[in-house]
Amino acid sequence: MAGVLSVAELESWKANGFLFPFTALTTAEAVLRRAKLEDWESRSKLHPTKAASLKAHLLFTWCHDVATHPAILDRVESLIGPDILVYSSTLWVKDVNDGAFVSWHQDSGYLGIDPPDGLQAWVALADASVSNGCLRVSPGSHHSPDLVHEETFNPKNLVSRGQVLHGIDEASAVDLELKAGQFSLHHERTVHGSGYNNGPDRRIGYSILYMPAASRCTLGRRGAMLARGEDRHGHWDLEPPPTRDEDPAMFDYLSRAWASFKRRDIPQAPVRQASGG
């Protein structure tokens, strides 16, 4: 498929299921978004990953700008074609020594995108390094089918239901270290996670899940936002872009949507129940 990615990058994507680093924002643009996030955190006293999860691009215009940034969409288009939907987007925040982590998981295991051609962009809003718990990926793991997660609901695990994959080869994992404003891409089947933030700064990432407009959802009818091109399929309820920040109606909509991913009585993909913790 023609596009901005080189042949070498496309081959690397096919082989490994991830690409990095690319640049979307200047350092100043990343700093500005961090300031907006931290202003909202201090006013709301909420944890962004828990309270503004799932579709931050509908809540904050400064997230919507990132989710529709040409530098990201051009690369995404090279991988999944010109008609692009945003399924979800999440602000992943780990404070220094807060004990938070992201267990090894595969997004395809619980998003229900059919066929599984979705991918995530992960944009650093602060420098992300091994020491503060940058994203890690297991190369080539996107070639595996959907794997069965154990749901732990561990509150320190930032994944919605504490989903965990066991037996991942840590030794071959790749650390996606990024400077503020840079981004990585990973396939929805690429196994990924991240460790503790041992300092020196907060680790703040913004991930956006893109999929071709032709995708269906195996979990029932859900919403998505058109980011580029056209939706000629009508498989999703199209969500409007935000006209202002922190619209209370959008918080209501999102808390209902979020419940369908988090509530224990609404099953996702096949899972094993945790034996404890």
Letters for 133-172 (x = contact with ligand AKG by CB under 6 A, - = none) are --x-------------------------------------
Residue 228 Cβ vs ligand AKG, minimum distance, rounded to whole Å: 20
Q: Which is nearer to ligand AKG, 53 or 68 (CB)?
A: 53
Q: Which is nearer to ligand AKG, 34 or 192 (CB)?
A: 192
- Residue 239 is encoded by which pair of tokens? 């969500």
Residue 187 Cβ vs ligand AKG, minimum distance, rounded to whole Å: 11
Residue 34 Cβ vs ligand AKG, minimum distance, rounded to whole Å: 15
Q: Which residues, in sequence order, are bridge partners of residue 102?
A: 194
Enumerate residues 6+ apart whose C-beta is below 8 A from 179: 21, 27, 124, 127
Enumerate residues 6+ apart whose C-beta is below 8 A from 169: 138
Residue 249 Cβ vs ligand AKG, minimum distance, rounded to whole Å: 26
CB 154, CB 100: distance < 8 Å:
no
Residue 186 Cβ vs ligand AKG, minimum distance, rounded to whole Å: 7
Q: Which residues, in sequence order, are bridge partners of residue 217?
A: 113
Residue 184 Cβ vs ligand AKG, minimum distance, rounded to whole Å: 9
Taking alpha carbons only, the member of 181, 93, 106 closest to residue 132 is: 93
d(C-alpha 18, C-alpha 187), whole Å: 6
Site for ligand AKG in 9-48 (CB under 6 A): none
Write down the number of H helices and E strands in the chain: 8, 16
Letters for 80-99 (x = contact with ligand AKG by CB under 6 A, - = none) are ------------x-------
> Which segments of 182-250 are extended strands (E)?
182-187, 192-194, 203-212, 216-217, 223-228, 237-238
Residue 178 Cβ vs ligand AKG, minimum distance, rounded to whole Å: 11
- The reply to whether 107 sits near ligand AKG by the rule CB under 6 A is yes
Site for ligand AKG in 184-223 (CB under 6 A): 192, 194, 205, 207
The identity of residue 160, as a single letter, is S
Site for ligand AKG in 111-130 (CB under 6 A): 120, 122
Taking alpha carbons only, the member of 35, 92, 86, 36 closest to residue 61 is: 36
d(C-alpha 232, C-alpha 215), whole Å: 11
Q: Which is nearer to ligand AKG, 107 or 177 (CB)?
A: 107
Residues that bind ligand AKG (CB under 6 A): 92, 102, 107, 120, 122, 135, 192, 194, 205, 207
